[in-house]
Amino acid sequence: MCGIIGIASTKSVSSNIVESLKKLEYRGYDSSGIATIDDNGINEKKCTGRVENLEKILFKTPSNGKVGVGHVRWATHGAPSKVNAHPHSSEQVSVVHNGIIENSSLLKEDLEKKGYKFKSQTDTEVITFLITEFLKDFDLVKAINKTLSKLKGSFALGIIFKKYADTVIGARKGSPLAVGYGHGENYLGSDSYALKSMTNKITYLDDGDICLLNNNKVEFYNSNNKKINKEVLTLSNDENTEDKGDYKDFMSKEINEQSITVKTCIKEYIDETRKDINLYNFPIKPNEIKKIVLVGCGTAYHSCIAAKYWFEELTTIPIETDVASEFRYRTIQFDKKNLYVFVSQSGETADTFAALDLCKKNNVKTCSVINVVESSIARLTDFVLPIHAGPEIGVASTKAFIGQMLVLYILAIKISDSRSEISKSDYTKKIIELKKLPDLISKTLKCEDKIQVIAKDFVNSKGVIFLGRGSSFPIALEGALKLKELSYVHAEGYPAGEMKHGPLALIEEGLPVIVLAPSDRYFVKTISNMQEVIARGAKVLLVTNTNNDVNSENIRFILTVPKSDPFFSPFLLTIPLQLLAYHVAKLKGCDIDKPRNLAKSVTVE
Ligand code: AGP
């Protein structure tokens, strides 16, 4: 989490730093700050809250300087406050930091003995003082490497100096960092997204790399202070996705564009003429796959659970799913015949990256289902399956979830065909059927008016329970996650059959329960579970795709999504739940695109 920007230029940098920080707010938004080098040395300004607060400060008291760093924070060590906001500066050095320094307390004790006075509760200030100390005896690159060798944990750093007034230094271990090349200026950024409006030429730092930039050159060094060469990449020019268009927020735009993103993704994977799925150079022969392990966090993990049901229906391959933060610390028997699949929108999630890294160290085959194809996870996996959803700005993941499920579903069909576990005619039928999905999503989106009415009825609830069976179960989890992260209402998703094993005790008069019951082989069972909660006073919203066989008596709301191929139910059931979370949050006046305490890209453990 946290966003870093650095610019070395021939002109004043503060306004460009602020503009880039606005793009980085998805990484953290509890405080922000900037430091530039002017004639008097380091000029630091910081504040709590959004970047617009920093902008107001700079409007009243502008910062000059042709070199500077900026930061948006997602608090780890120390509460969100002005004093804990980055940059953290000494007389000589100013530092912005993303990540966690695990041995900061020990380092702090040593530095205090040397007379350094700490102002903040952060782990970052130790970096500022270590660099200040080493600069007394070493040249710039050596002083940075000496400092890095003392740090345990993960970090990306941006650093400026009073003495080296034209220079910005970047360093990376565990947290992503990129360099961008401009005309008369060069940039440092937490990711390419922050740099994209300024340049499409970038280089990613690897762990242990240091970069040194000024307005006309960029140099890279390794941990032995040796100069190294790095590849310059040209980024694709995506459509202008920073524009909300007529939408009030990115989330509603992203929900409403799901039929388009699904269409784009299908076009990328389906060969129309051959009625086949394009998947070349897959890292493992489908016939030889012994087991598939699907790993992700949050919403991405929910797409893994949905995929488990599809793979199990379509293939004979055993499937395992896990959240990355658990997977990375398990004692796992890795097997070269297994395929390890990592699902991530951002491609920068620290736990998912660490889980992937563990697989790489065990020499097993890996593949990623990713939105940001230039990301660290995409670059480390053997094979990348992009979801083609375009940048997702809203912190609550919507179109990426649908995209992740879609790509995993396409992968399941393809693997099933390659293993001859599905007949050719069924395979072709599935491909033809897929083309109907964008239209089905458009039709489902029309439920928004009804959802607004339901949201009014649910808005004052203290808690909500979501129930589903089979592939509707992960959608229950996802619906609950969306509601809690957006509207701060306590919500839980359960397999409907689990209710009797404890959660049924929560049901009381008027408690909202959302029951997902498409017409599938679980339908009758789920409806019985629904009756059990109704009998205990629950206020039920039934989301289904059939009007038959349901006694509507005592069901508060019934929402019918279009009838479809049973494999599409998870996609269509998701949409009303996204809209419900959105409208409940709106009614409560919550910040839709930036819910409290969260960040879009979770780059700390
Ligand atoms: C979803 O709405 C979340 N904000 C969150 O759970 C997210 O899906 C998770 O942090 C994983 O992110 P990733 O897809 O970028 O790896």
Residue with tokens 């979370």, as numbered in its chain:
581
Among the candidates 400, 435, 470, a domain finishes at 435
**Bridge-partner residues for 603, per DSSP?**
none
Task: State percent of the chain over pLDDT 90.
Answer: 82
Q: Are residues 361 and 409 in the same domain?
A: yes
The torsion angles phi and psi of 255, rounded to 5 degrees, stand at -65, -45
Q: Are residues 382 and 471 in the same domain?
A: no
Among the candidates 177, 204, 234, a domain finishes at 234
When pLDDT is cut at 50, 70 and 90, the band that residue 28 belongs to is confident
Which of ligand 1's atoms lies nearest the C-alpha of 598? Answer: 4
In a domain, 603, yes or no: no
Lining residues, ligand 1, CB within 6 Å: 297-300, 344-346, 349, 352, 395-397, 485, 601-602
Residues 377-406, mean pLDDT to the nearest whole number? 94
3-state secondary structure 330-344: CCCCCCCCEEEEEEE
| Residue range 235-275, pLDDT digits in tens | 766 544 567 878 999 999 999 999 999 999 998 899 888 88
Which of ligand 1's atoms lies nearest the C-alpha of 299? Answer: 8
Q: Are residues 250 and 272 in the same domain?
A: yes
Round the average pLDDT of the chain to a whole number and report it. Answer: 93
When pLDDT is cut at 50, 70 and 90, the band that residue 79 belongs to is confident
Quote the pLDDT of residue 76: 80
Q: What is d(CA 398, CA 483) in angstroms, rounded to the nearest whole number?
A: 12
Q: Are residues 211 and 65 in the same domain?
A: yes
| Residue 108 host element (H or E) | helix 104-113
Cα 349 to ligand 1 centroid, rounded to whole Å: 8
First CA to last CA distance, the chain? 9
Total of domains in the chain: 3
Q: DSSP readout, 422-457?
A: S-HHHHHHHHHHHTTHHHHHHHHHTTHHHHHHHHHH
Cα 583 to ligand 1 centroid, rounded to whole Å: 20
When pLDDT is cut at 50, 70 and 90, the band that residue 582 belongs to is very high
- Choosing from 193, 301, 345 the residue with most ligand 1 atoms within 8 A of its CB, the one to mutate for a pocket test is 345
Q: Are residues 385 and 352 in the same domain?
A: yes
In a domain, 399, yes or no: yes
Q: What is d(CA 462, CA 330) in angstroms, rounded to the nearest whole number?
A: 35
Residues 47-72, mean pLDDT to the nearest whole number? 94
- Choosing from 251, 299, 578 the residue with most ligand 1 atoms within 8 A of its CB, the one to mutate for a pocket test is 299
For the question of residue 2 being annotated catalytic, the response is yes
Write the residue with the smallest CA distance to atom 16 of ligand 1: 344
Which residue among 2, 297, 367, 590 is the active-site one? Answer: 2
When pLDDT is cut at 50, 70 and 90, the band that residue 210 belongs to is very high
Cα 605 to ligand 1 centroid, rounded to whole Å: 13
In a domain, 604, yes or no: no
Q: Are residues 374 and 248 in the same domain?
A: yes
- Choosing from 74, 193, 250, 297 the residue with most ligand 1 atoms within 8 A of its CB, the one to mutate for a pocket test is 297
Which residue among 196, 253, 594, 600 is the active-site one? Answer: 600
Which of ligand 1's atoms lies nearest the C-alpha of 395? Answer: 4
Write the residue with the smallest CA distance to atom 9 of ligand 1: 298
Among the candidates 415, 435, 455, a domain finishes at 435
| Residue 405 host element (H or E) | helix 399-418
Which of ligand 1's atoms lies nearest the C-alpha of 345? Answer: 14
Say if residues 57 and 106 touch (Cβ distance below 8 Å): no
Q: Are residues 416 and 352 in the same domain?
A: yes
Q: Given a cut of 90, is residue 289 above it in pLDDT?
A: yes
The CATH number assigned to the domain holding 108 equals 3.60.20.10
In a domain, 586, yes or no: yes
Q: Are residues 206 and 79 in the same domain?
A: yes
- Choosing from 255, 343, 346, 397 the residue with most ligand 1 atoms within 8 A of its CB, the one to mutate for a pocket test is 397
CA angle 293, 299, 302 (to 5 degrees): 45
Write the residue with the smallest CA distance to atom 4 of ligand 1: 396
3-state secondary structure 258-271: HHHHHHHHHHHHEE
Q: Are residues 117 and 13 in the same domain?
A: yes
Say if residues 522 and 551 touch (Cβ distance below 8 Å): no
Say if residues 297 and 400 touch (Cβ distance below 8 Å): no
Q: Are residues 42 and 166 in the same domain?
A: yes
DSSP state of 174: B
Q: Given a cut of 50, is residue 503 above it in pLDDT?
A: yes
Which of ligand 1's atoms lies nearest the C-alpha of 297? Answer: 11
| Residue range 159-206, pLDDT digits in tens | 999 999 999 999 998 788 999 999 999 999 987 777 888 998 999 898
Higher pLDDT, 110 or 279: 110
Which of ligand 1's atoms lies nearest the C-alpha of 396? Answer: 2
Cα 297 to ligand 1 centroid, rounded to whole Å: 6
The CATH number assigned to the domain holding 588 equals 3.40.50.10490
Q: What pTM did the predictor assign?
A: 0.81
Q: Given a cut of 50, is residue 300 above it in pLDDT?
A: yes
CA angle 578, 579, 581 (to 5 degrees): 65
CA-nearest of 149, 148, 162, 96 to 124 is: 96
In a domain, 92, yes or no: yes
Cα 482 to ligand 1 centroid, rounded to whole Å: 11
Cα 131 to ligand 1 centroid, rounded to whole Å: 34
Residues 134-149, mean pLDDT to the nearest whole number? 96
In a domain, 250, yes or no: yes
Cα 459 to ligand 1 centroid, rounded to whole Å: 24
In a domain, 602, yes or no: no
In a domain, 441, yes or no: no
Higher pLDDT, 197 or 362: 362
| CB-CB neighbours of 490 under 10 Å | 14
- Domain span at residue 494? 446-597
Q: Are residues 42 and 83 in the same domain?
A: yes
Cα 345 to ligand 1 centroid, rounded to whole Å: 7
Q: Given a cut of 80, is residue 319 above it in pLDDT?
A: yes
Q: Are residues 372 and 226 in the same domain?
A: no
